[in-house]
Chain A
Amino acid sequence: MDAIRRNNVQTRGRPDGQPMLFAHGYGCDQNMWRYVTPAFEGSHRVVLYDHVGAGGSNLAAYDRDKYSSLNGYAGDILEICDALDLKNVIFVGHSVAAMMGALAAKRQPDRFDKLVMVGPSPRYIDDDGYRGGFTEEQIDELLTSLESNFLGWSTQMAPVIMGNPERPELGEELTSSFCSTDPDIAAHFAEVTFKSDNREDLPTVHVPTLILQCSDDVIAPDEVGRFVHDALPNSVFVKMLATGHCPNLSAPDETISVIKSFL
């Protein structure tokens, strides 16, 4: 299956502009960027996509082995770049997608002009001498919480999709709704995301990088953003006024202006 359909890739803005590839984080889909991307459509070629398992992606393409590490998702970024022949890419990744971008840039540094990381974290779980903000037990709580909160999906949607393995397009339609997906995929993606550790990859990424750090981010706290800044050889750290983990929703104007001044 080609990357364009698999990842529900959408292209907007100036066809001849420098490409900006926007990747959403854990939870919802490319709609997370809807307040931000219009500001770049006049000057750039804006490319949006859904991770496999999210939004309008093809659920049938969800391969547990491939997506058992963020590297599988990084591979998709490179495949999308290949499919659209994107060069000199500005990659904008929210939350866990920031690390997917770092891994993609590690593999093909020449493909990328700049990286923008919104609320990045290379490791969510505390470790010796490192504070990621969560204990392993708390991440397991999240997995239980997901299980309870996708009850509706599993009973209503799953039989329809499971009963028609030969017609994956049925699955696509049913799960196009924002923030909802197959509970097994949601749980697996959560586990892969929140148990990832990419601290050692960061020093190998030399692409100029902007780090957007929100105030009061419960998922990626200040010191995690600072860690990313210290570990990346070529990065700029900007502390935003915006609070929470989703400045692309809560403070699009500030997000846009910080990215614009970096570019």
Chain B
Amino acid sequence: MSSTEHPSVVDLYERAPCGLVTVSRRGNVIAANAAFRDMVGETLVDNADSFLDLLRAGDRIFWETHVNPLLDMEGQVREIAIELKTEAGQLPVLMNARNQAPADPSGHVDLVLFPAADRRSYERELLAARRRAEISESHARLLAETLQRSLIPPSIPDIPGLEVGATYRPAGTGAEVGGDFYDFFRISPTEWMVALGDVCGKGAGAATVTALVRYAIRGAAMETRDLEEVFRAVNATLLLDQSNEMCTAAVGRMSPAADGHHIALTLAGHPLPLHVDATGRVGVVGKPGTLLGALGDVRHEVAQIHLATGESLVFFTDGVTEARRGAQFFGEQRLRELLARNAEEPPSAIAEAVGDAVEEYQDGALRDDVAVVVVRSI
């Protein structure tokens, strides 16, 4: 290419494929290339006292609160999305700007302006789509929370002679319903049932099974005092249900007795509850039994427990003991130590302390639901 074919610097400036404008720090136009004049329109450019006159009010605020301070502090801004007033209407552009003398408030700022109507409208569509996604997500979250609340009692009932505490912490961010549940209900003028369980799986499907199990336990327990019979009924209900979900559960019937309460306890594939006496001594109670919803033939045994005044029974789901940190489990030992340390706290504080410890163990992000119920004879 011979040198005569090189365009002149002036031509390059005037005919650059973008608007080039030099302004004062206040925005007064000092120079503008032909491409910019064509983009905006000769008359508009000539009549504008300041570059800011070509911006919408919202963009002028953005200029004063962000662009100008950034030009001062960092000397440049990039990819700023603004709209220019032009003789042909509003024109979305992207702007880069460089402050040629950051230390000097009377220095000049060079602007490069690219028309970007298509890109900006695509971007707006993406933003709108993201907003819709966020709204859907918050609806889903609300739905999950509402469903979740329906799986546990709205408040802990007042049971004469017993003090009860419970906590429930769903896994994840709350966008999905968990499968753990607990329940308290009265079966006679003086007797109450406590139930706690864990349906395998998550989400809306598991939630319907959780509700099914909770109400199957309630229904069966009103019909019979035989706790093995209660579990047989729940097992049969689950086997007939199309969901094929399985479930672990602990059920206790609590009757007032001399010096405390008597508890008849049955377990189905569920972690053994812990008994804590007033001095903080901890031991397991109950007898292991078959998971519900898996087999036609299930075996459960009823354990008879005396809960003397001041003693507590702690029910929990495997979200507590199987909480993991790397390859380590939270484990029963850690739980026992925690209960021993907190033996003098009220049951609600003990339940929260267990929930907090498990959350902390997993750096605040639960990977499985956690349900804890503490029953104390008073």
Residues of A within 8 A of B (CB): 25-28, 31-32, 95, 134-135, 138-149, 151-152, 165-166, 178-179, 194, 216, 218-219, 243-246, 249-251
Contacts and interface: CB of A to CB of B under 8 A. Distances in A.
Contact of A245 (B56, B64, B123): B64
Contacts of A152: 79
B61 interface: yes
Contacts of A243: 26
B287 interface: no
Interface string B157-191: 00000000000000000000000000000000000
B58 A143 contact: yes
B98 interface: no
Interface string B335-366: 00000000000000000000000000001110
Contact-residue bracket for chain B: 20 to 34
Given A138-B56, A138-B58, A141-B58, A149 B81 contact: yes
B26 A216 contact: yes
Given A148-B123, A152-B79, A250-B105, A179 B66 contact: yes
B82 interface: yes
A131 to B, nearest CB: 13
B82 A145 contact: yes
Interface string B37-58: 0000000000000001000111
Contact of A218 (B64, B73, B105): B64
B318 to A, nearest CB: 23
Given A166-B364, A251-B105, A246 B64 contact: yes
Contacts of A246: 64, 68-69
B25 A250 contact: yes
A188 to B, nearest CB: 14
Nearest to A25: B65
A149 to B, nearest CB: 5
B162 to A, nearest CB: 35
Given A28-B65, A179-B70, A218-B61, 6 more contacts: A25-B65, A32-B69, A135-B57, A219-B64, A245-B65, A246-B68
B68 A142 contact: no
B145 interface: no
Contact of A249 (B105, B363, B364): B105
Interface string B54-98: 001111111011101110111000011110000000000000000
A27 B62 CA distance: 8
Given A245-B64, A246-B64, A249-B105, A149 B70 contact: no
B350 to A, nearest CB: 23
Contacts of B365: 165-166
Interface of B: 25-26, 52, 56-62, 64-66, 68-70, 72-74, 79-82, 105, 120, 123-124, 127, 363-365
Given A166-B364, A178-B70, A249-B69, A218 B62 contact: no
A216 to B, nearest CB: 7
A178 B74 contact: yes
Contacts, number: 97
Contact of B66 (A31, A147, A149, A194): A149
Nearest to B61: A142
A134 B105 contact: no
Contacts of A151: 81, 123
A32 to B, nearest CB: 6
Nearest to B57: A138
Contacts of B70: 28, 178-179
Nearest to A220: B64
29 contacts: A28-B66, A28-B69, A28-B70, A31-B73, A32-B69, A134-B57, A134-B61, A141-B57, A141-B59, A142-B58, A142-B61, A145-B61, A145-B62, A148-B81, A148-B127, A149-B62, A149-B66, A178-B70, A178-B73, A179-B66, A179-B70, A218-B64, A243-B26, A244-B64, A245-B64, A246-B68, A246-B69, A249-B72, A250-B25
A140 B58 CA distance: 7
Nearest to A143: B58
Contacts of A216: 26
Contact of A142 (B26, B57, B69, B120): B57
Contacts of B80: 149
Contacts of B74: 178
B66 A27 contact: yes
A244 B69 CA distance: 11
Nearest to A124: B61
Contacts of B73: 28, 31, 178-179
Nearest to B56: A141
A74 to B, nearest CB: 20
A151 B365 CA distance: 28
A68 to B, nearest CB: 18
A108 to B, nearest CB: 28
Contacts of B66: 27-28, 149, 179
A95 B74 CA distance: 21
A106 to B, nearest CB: 25
Contacts of A135: 57
The 5 closest A-B pairs by CB, nearest first: A141-B58, A27-B65, A166-B364, A142-B58, A138-B57
Nearest to B65: A27
Given A145-B82, A148-B120, A249-B105, A218 B60 contact: yes
A218 B52 contact: yes
B52 to A, nearest CB: 6
Contacts of A134: 57, 61
Contact of A244 (B57, B68, B82, B123): B68
Identify which of A135, A139, A147 gathers the most chain B CB atoms within 10 Å of its CB: A147
